[in-house]
A and B are shown apart, each in its own frame.
Chain A
Amino acid sequence: MNEFDDKPSSGDEQLESQLRDALRAVAPSEAFSEALLARLASERTRRTGRYSGWWLPASLAAAVLVAVGAVEHLKAAHEREMGLEARREVIEALRVTNQKLDLAYQAVRTQSTSLSEGDPGA
């Protein structure tokens, strides 16, 4: 046991030698070996086939999903923009109306002031 122990002994070396002989690798049966190779080959073919059969429809489905998502996103953005535009127009209309009302108010007030100054009995 030279490399594991400080004091190697001939008994250890003999046992190690016997273990090497006893634990020599053995081969599986030829039948198992053939079956294993056949299984590996068929599994590989199946997986390759499954991949090539799947990936095209999967890619198409993904592309359609992306396209639908993009269209929906653009539509939502457009609708949002239309809403903002309408809001701006309403605010502008309110502002113009407010201006007109101010002008009318000023006109009515001016007229009533001049009427009261021309009627001393009032």
Chain B
Amino acid sequence: MGCRTATLPPPDASNEPAIIGMDEQLLQARAGVPQALAALVRAHQRSVYSLALRMLGTRDLAEDLTQEVFMEMTDNLTSMQSSEHLTFWLRRVTTHRAIDQLRRRARIEITSLDEETQHSGGQGTGGPAISAAEKLDPVWHRHLRLLLAELTPDARAVVLLRYQEDLDPMEIAHTLGMSINTVKSHLKRSLEFMRRRLNVAADTRREDHST
């Protein structure tokens, strides 16, 4: 992965003039209106925090990174050309910072999934954090997230951007500064790895139930 800089090009810089499409909230935040800045943070904190949490594995590290990213965002608000650019910037900076941290750490800590599940139980703003499916099978989903923590930092970022942020491979490539083929390769290998491990887990479960 290339340079990890805070000053990044807008995703669609060639398509539209800078100011067109910028929403009022961003304009007000740029002008220094505190309520607008707070609204921007609230609108994006779930995404940033979740990326940080699942990349880094612990709540403390995730909160530190979230704070760092939003501090940097306020310093760079004037360079944000649209709300889409802001979203792109936040994802990019969060994933790059997290990957840098993981590379510096000799060994990653596996997410305390009880902490995440307990923590996501409606304390935050903006709706229910646990899906109905997870309420039905939280153990299975915890297992999936544990498998995610076993992926390399780059692969983990790719999987998170794909399945948490719902980006397509082209958008992921743009966000992470990778080629589209690298993104597809990460996705394919990660899914194969997870499927293999899940099959083993499912077999174990069946054996446990039968005994």
Contact = CB atoms under 8 A, between A and B. Distances in A.
**Which 9 A-B residue pairings sit nearest by Cβ, starting from the closest?**
A27-B124, A26-B120, A22-B141, A25-B50, A22-B144, A23-B164, A19-B163, A21-B133, A28-B49
A5 B188 contact: yes
A30 B163 contact: no
Given A16-B163, A27-B45, A27-B129, A44 B37 contact: yes
Given A27-B46, A36-B67, A37-B41, A4 B129 contact: no
B69 to A, nearest CB: 10
Nearest to B183: A4
Name the residue among B119, B159, B191 with the largest chain A CB count within 10 angstroms.
B191
Interface string A1-33: 101110000011001101111111111111011
B45 A33 contact: yes
Interface string B43-74: 00111011001100000001100110011001
Contacts of A71: none
Contact of A40 (B71, B116, B164, B195): B71
Interface string B12-32: 000000000000000000001
Contacts of B125: 27, 30, 33
A41 interface: yes
B173 interface: no
Given A3-B168, A18-B141, A22-B141, A28 B63 contact: yes
Nearest to A12: B191
Contacts of B38: 37, 40-41
A43 B74 contact: yes
Interface residues of A, number: 31
Name the residue among A11, A41, A44 with the largest chain B CB count within 10 angstroms.
A44
Given A19-B159, A24-B131, 7 more contacts: A4-B191, A22-B163, A26-B50, A26-B120, A28-B62, A36-B67, A39-B71
A43 B129 CA distance: 30
A120 B77 CA distance: 113
A71 B133 CA distance: 79
Contacts of A24: 129-131, 134, 164
B67 A39 contact: yes
Given A22-B145, A28-B45, A15 B71 contact: no
Contact of B134 (A3, A12, A22): A22
A30 B124 contact: yes
Given A15-B198, A20-B163, A28 B41 contact: no
A43 B134 contact: no
Contact of A15 (B120, B141, B166, B191): B191
A24 B116 CA distance: 11
Interface string B104-133: 000000000000100110011110011101
B157 interface: no
